Each structure stands twice: as structure tokens, then as C-alpha cells.
Structure 1
């Protein structure tokens, strides 16, 4: 695979993971604009990594689109929506890209960073409000669950906290 960018040397220079870096920048911009959590916190990182994976894996084969384009925002909202099987969606998309990498392109530095982000999101647990077994205390159409005790906290994978945070940040963007 030819690198998307190089370090300025000629012939086979360092591959720069531009697609992942653009996705991470977009996720950071969306979260900062929303102002929902303090930048630098683990909650912020969970939201940024979740959004970056969403942006990267939604990216069409014709290249990145303007992050503020309505169709792009609608796609991100749909993928991060309550009830969408985001975790399965990520696993399927990464597996498909890994298969393509093996069969066609060779090592992909963007995919390597996406895999690292996914590993961090799955293995890192954060102490958060108990979202219940179904993954949410609330549904946008129903409002908060009146029986839920929001002071109860549990350890949860980072993506479970980052997903609703990212979804809300997209709405505020």
C-alpha cells in the first residue's frame, strides 16, 4: 500500500494515518463544541474514541466528507442512537477492513490505530451511573426511567459511556 503521506523522504517513507487522524480531530471538535465533559478526563477520552471510531468506520470509500454535512451527521446519529447495536457494528466493520487489508492493501496504519482505540474502549472500565442491563437509563422519546437510581454506580466498558456522550455531542454540534 502506498502511504497517504510521508515524512518528506523519497521512496517508501513513513505512512501517515490521515483517515484516523482526521476522524480523531473531528471527534475532538464535536466533543469540545458540545462542552459536555472536561477535556482530558477519561470520560472525554471515551467519548472521543467512540466518536472517532464511528467517524472512521462510517467513512465512505470516496474519502472523508465535511463533518458538518447533514447526511454525515445523520449517519453518525443513526449509528450512535439508542438501541443500535454499535458494538457489533464496530466489530463487523473492523473485521471487514482487516479482511480487505489482508487480501488487498497490506498493513494499514489507520486500521491499526482504530484497532487500538477499540481495544482501549473494550478493556477500560469507568465508574459511571448504572445504565441497566439494556444499556440505558433513558430513551430520548421516553425520558428518564423513574425507577432508576442515578446515584448507583457500576464499572462499565468505556464505550458504553462514550456512546451516549458522543450521540449527545453530535446533536449539540
Structure 2
């Protein structure tokens, strides 16, 4: 009887070993697929807001907002802090606060805005300004405020074109706004 039990056990052993090996392999595959899934979901952005901006874009957006802020009396633009003139330049502080700037001032600021927007478009080809601002983490209200500030700057510069604002500066802004998907007024 002992002898027949050994024969039955020996017939079961290969089947049992095979089941154990297959089970271990399945557990390993499941663990690998779970790890891969976790890695994929961790590395892929869940939304546009979590996607990263091209290097330097955040600073360029901040500088653009700062120059737009100058035309708005130093108010914040799209969640970016407002422009603060140096404490030791009372004349400049008054100019910004009272929005008492000249067409030449405006021309200079719009040239700087053009410079920043040009760099933004080169670093982020094919991206609209709204997409970039969303990636920056701005809310829809802040994005609208930023875009409206840019449109207002365009409107003001266009109104002063030829009267202290170089018409080419306005044309450059037109072109950059078109590339960024911003409709001028």
C-alpha cells in the first residue's frame, strides 16, 4: 500500500509543480502589469494643466504679465502679481499708478511684450496662449483676464499707432497674437 501511494504521489508531483510554476508566473505578470500601469499613469499628464511648459516659458509669461500690468496701473494680470515700480523712482511710480504714460512708453512696453511673445511662440510651437496659460495652472477666469489684458494693450497701441507707437510694433503684435490664437479686438 505504501508502494502504490508513492506511485500516485510521483504522478501528481509534475502536475503540482507545473501548477505552482504557472501560478508564480501569473502572479509575477500581474505585479509587472500593475507596476507598468502605475508608472504610465504617473508619468503621463492627467490634464493639460499638469503638462510641463517648455523651459523658460513661465518666466516669459510672468514678464509679459508684468508689462501688461504697467498699462493697467500696476494691477495683477491673470493671477500674476502686478508691476511694482522701484521705491526710489516716484515719477515712474506715479506714471504707472495714474496710467499717465506716453505713447513712447507704450511703444517700449509693447516692443518688450512682442519680444516675450516671440520667444514663447518659438519655445512652444503650435500652442495657443490659452493652452500655455492653462499649463501654467491659471484658472479659466485668470486666462480670460490675461487674454483680455493683451487685447486691451493691442487696442491701445493700435489707437496710438503713428502717434508715438511705431506701426510696425503693432503689426508685430498682430502677428504674434494670431500665432497664439488670440483674436485682437
TM-score, L = length of structure 1: 0.28
**More strand by proportion, 1 or 2?**
1
**Greater CA radius of gyration, 1 or 2?**
2
**More helix by proportion, 1 or 2?**
2
